[in-house]
Amino acid sequence: MNFVETRGNDGKKAKKVTFSEAIKNPGASFGGLYVPEYLPKIDNDFLKSCISLSYKEFSKKIIELFEIDISEEVIKNALNLYDKWDDKENVVPLSKVEDILFVSELYHGPTRAFKDMALQPFGYILSHLAKEENEEYLILAATSGDTGPATLNSFADKENIKVVCIYPEGGTSDVQKLQMVTQKGDNLKVIGINGNFDDAQSALKSLLSSNDFKEELQKRDIKLSAANSVNFGRIIFQIIYHIYSYVKLIELGEISLGQEIYIAVPSGNFGDALGAYYAKKMGVNIRKVLISANSNNILSDLINTGVYDIRDRKLKKTISPAMDILISSNVERLLYDKFGEVRCKELMDSLKNNGYYKLTKDEHESLQKDFRGYYCNDDETKHYISEYSVKNYLMDPHTATCIKAYDDIKCSRRKTIICSTAEWTKFAPAVMNAISCDHKTKFSDIEALEGISEIMNTKIPKSISNLFSTPILHRTVIDKENLKDEIYKFLG
């Protein structure tokens, strides 16, 4: 299968590219993204044939449908990385929380957030391609906390790839920061920026648009790639687990083959949600994908009003920071899929030039056929965490935003899968604050981890508790003006 561009072709780039080209150079014409030329279809017979497969076998079957230009051997090695998960026989556990409520736990990998699901195999494949072509790639990542650790862990000591990861000093949780600054790997550079996430991101953006940066990379024969979810190499792995959880419901006897369900997704950059939409389009009977946001409710607004409007909006800091986003990159792939490249470009241009776009009535209705939008403020989120902790199920603040959606649709009696994007350990202070009777204290990460572990009678995973005694390897903290020089120093 080939990949095409969401905003059409500028006459300079190829009109269609292979999967490997799309993941090495993820930027398409006019600032667009790459999308598959078509989505393969799956039917009930196919789903039936998947019952009882391991997650790895299942993934292989789905990837085969896309007919990408990556050898079977490489895909096999990439998928073998799921052996690092807590239970390699059960990579994505599906927990039954209530009669019709299930949680798909996507966080049992090395950095305890769902980003590992895609970044681990993606990192292997990208490094393999770079090695094969004898090319050197630089990945630049700005993180508010989850993408950084997952990217660093994935690419550590991978050949032909270097990673520079920028985080806001003081803007992440202790656990997230420790995951980054203790990460081993000679090809990694972790840099704290004095400022907030916006400062880190804008430092990265100005770097990417600077000509002398491009020249310096060229001199060193280094190419730039990207590991965020604008890269389709991540999206493909984010379709798989949605279909897998559906099959798991059949296997468990919770639904019959082909029965309709809901999927609820905590959403920021819309990668995970897009994966669910693609799964629906491929043939999984998902009535609607329920999009959950926090007070930065740009996505729920789009679905509920048909307008995407960032004018007069300021990013709000919430207890679900991975969803503190105003420009949600993967919505573009949805717009392309629904309305085609010409309209997609028109809408994206309007967002860039005017700060908003407005769908027509028909377009808006088309979105509402597949999605519903919800958002929670922090108090509501804490309330849901507390409510379910009393029912003995612990959720992180991102996952918990989905309960509002569930509460709204549960009268339909349809089985509902919530995608759990992080383990409670990554956001322990907010979770402790929600579940303890002491709502006032500001807990440190370690106090909160221990407190929750005691209240819930649950263990802190070793990969988290060990962080506090692991040597710190990265100590660079700089002003954003000095970022370029710091990177040149690292590249040599």
Token pair recorded at residue 487: 């990177």
Of 393-422, binders to ligand PLP (CB under 6 A) are: 398, 421-422
Per-residue HEC secondary structure of 150-180 comes to HHHHHHCCCCCEEEEEEEEECCCCHHHHHHH
Q: Which stretch binds ligand PLP (CB under 6 A): 12-20, 25-33, 270-278, 482-490?
A: 270-278
Q: Which is nearer to ligand PLP, 126 or 323 (CB)?
A: 323
Smallest CA-to-CA distance from 117 within 142, 154, 87, 145 is with 154
Quick check: 21 and 13 in contact, CB under 8 A? no
**Shortest distance (Å) from residue 174 CB to ligand PLP:** 16
Applying CB under 6 A, which part among 82-90, 263-271, 278-286, 466-474 lies near ligand PLP? 263-271
Selected binder of ligand PLP within 27, 171, 266, 373 (CB under 6 A)? 266
- Tokens representing 205 are 């953006």
Confirm or reject binding of residue 172 to ligand PLP (CB under 6 A): no
User: Site size for ligand PLP, by CB under 6 A?
Assistant: 17
Structure token pair of residue 488? 């040149």
C-beta of 2 vs 176, nearer to ligand PLP: 176
Which of 322, 376, 400, 417 forms a contact with ligand PLP (CB under 6 A)? Answer: 322
The DSSP 8-state label assigned to residue 317 in this structure reads: P
Closest to ligand PLP by CB, 39 vs 322, is 322
Under rule CB under 6 A, residue 318 binds ligand PLP: no
For residue 162, CA distances in Å to 84, 408, 465 come to 22, 45, 28
Contact indicator for 86, 396 with CB cutoff of 8 Å = no
Contact set for ligand PLP, span 140-159 (CB under 6 A): 146
Q: Is 36 helix (H, G, I), strand (E, B) or coil?
A: strand
Phi, psi of 442 (to 5 degrees): -95, 110
280: enclosing H helix or E strand = helix 271-282
382 forms part of the interface with ligand PLP (CB under 6 A): no
Chain positions 121 to 140 lying near ligand PLP, rule: CB under 6 A, are: none
Does residue 295 contact residue 316 with C-beta atoms inside 8 Å?
yes
Using alpha carbons, select from 388, 397, 452, 456 the residue that is nearest to residue 421.
397
User: Is 113 a residue that touches ligand PLP (CB under 6 A)?
Assistant: yes
Residues of this chain, 272-311, that bind ligand PLP according to CB under 6 A: 272-273
CB of 483 to ligand PLP, least distance (A): 23
List contacts with ligand PLP (CB under 6 A): 113, 115, 146, 229, 266-273, 322-323, 398, 421-422
